Amino acid sequence: MATVASVSLLSEAEFGCEHLASQLMHDSAASNQFKASFIKTHNALGRRDIFNSNPSSYLKPKYTCLTCSEPCMNGDRKSHTENTGHQFYMESRNRALFCQGCEDLVYDHGLERCRSATPESTLKVARKRRFSESSADELYVKSNANRRPCAKQGVRGLFNLGQTCYLNVILQTLLHDPILSTYFLGNGHQPHDCTVADCIGCAVAEAFADFHSIDKPEGFAALNLLLASWRASPTLAGYQQQDAHEYYQFLVDKLHTSAEGNRENHEKGCSCFFHRTFYGKLRSSVTCDRCGNVTKTEDPIVDLSLDVQVQAKKRAMGGGTGPSATPTLSGCLESFTSPEKLMADVYNCSGCGNTPQKATKQLRIKKLPAILCMQLKKQRFEHTFSVSEKVEGRIDFPLSINMLPYTTNPDSAVDKSRYTYDLSSAVVHKGKLEAGHYYVYCRQGDEWMLFNDDQVTPVTEAEVLGVDAYLLFYNLRCLANAAS
């Protein structure tokens, strides 16, 4: 006779998961109602014309409750189940069934047959052949069926190939970005169509494919990306420690070069995927104190370098705001975009006959990228006599930030969602710059993970917000309203 464990295993193998088995096996009326809701939701989602919609709105899927038809985002699904007891949803992009009890997508053969069945036979085709508890079927299922380790999917470390932690933290950041995942796992850069030798785009695409391989939950090595980086940049070649921020800039530039239809001159504009994803624009305005003449220049940027020590010095001189002695990210951004006095020996005014004049300089963000990287320039060396000491100091940063106050947009009444960013990764550096170590905290769905080379550890939001970050990566919340 079959044991309770084997019955549970049979139910899971036959129905996709044990929660679905309990829904479909017993009460025929409830089972038929569930199948009818499944077909109704499936057909309703299928009638949406995705070709006339903004493709960026499909980067983050919605989940429609099969019981009450309420749409939920990924982060709202759990609370909806806790409040209502409803635990089955349909994912919007491919109309797959999601079980909140398993916290995973589930496949059910009978329900899949319902997708293509006629309305008259919809409820009949889902009837299943029952396994005999003493048959060869049971023995086969017991020997071959097992639970897939869902918690490990998408959580894979990267082996250190010899002082390559700088590469690992940047690659982990890219691998956990939903925008880049959609590109590389979709119809983005195709290595089989690329003829460029040692192409960085091909190496990153290979890393995405390897990372998302469900057959390999253990760590992996990004060897081809390392070799391609060495061949593309002599300064990177070898096993010496590199700066993660500089490697990020290098990688973004090479990805942009690998994109089809890219333009090398950023000032003329570029419509390629990587330019729109990574590149922003910074405006510098210099106003002559004598005649008021304004000189404006705009330059492309892939990150913002914020000097934490500037804010700390302003606080020490009484120029800081708030009682806290800990610098904040918003404070650093305010310092970065606040007016700065220029002496006459560094500025010649065209309105005053190109003569040296005192002036006021101010930086503002003209265009924000979809992925915003911010470097916290506090980890540097200060030289005192013959001693070099590393400048340390943690900075407070939020899970979400509104970038509108730091842009050239003077209209404070605009939709703030166009400028709202959510934290996706935080890179930490420990030790000396020449011989230190990098690790990174990345958002994995609704959870956070610490990636220390091939070691992966779940952490809390509070732990992430308490780290001494070197690089912060934020994602634009609403891509359909990309700020410009």
Q: Of these residues, 17, 72, 165, 442, which one is catalytic?
A: 165
Q: 437 an active-site residue?
A: yes
> Minimal CA–CA distance to 290: which of 362, 364, 354?
354
Which runs of E-coded beta strand occur in 81-141?
88-91, 97-99, 104-106
Packing angle, helices 244-258 and 200-211, rounded to 10: 110
* Amino acid identity, position 2: A
Structure tokens at 457: 């550890």
Q: Of these residues, 86, 212, 266, 437, which one is catalytic?
A: 437
Q: 199 an active-site residue?
A: no
Residue 239: how many other CB atoms lie within 10 Å: 9
* Amino acid identity, position 42: H
Asked if residues 115 and 43 have their Cβ atoms less than 8 Å apart, the reply is no
CA distance 444 to 201: 23
Asked if residues 32 and 123 have their Cβ atoms less than 8 Å apart, the reply is yes
Residue 413: how many other CB atoms lie within 10 Å: 5
Asked if residues 169 and 451 have their Cβ atoms less than 8 Å apart, the reply is yes
CA distance 118 to 442: 45
> Minimal CA–CA distance to 413: which of 400, 403, 423, 404?
404
CA distance 110 to 116: 11
Q: Which residues are catalytic?
A: 165, 437
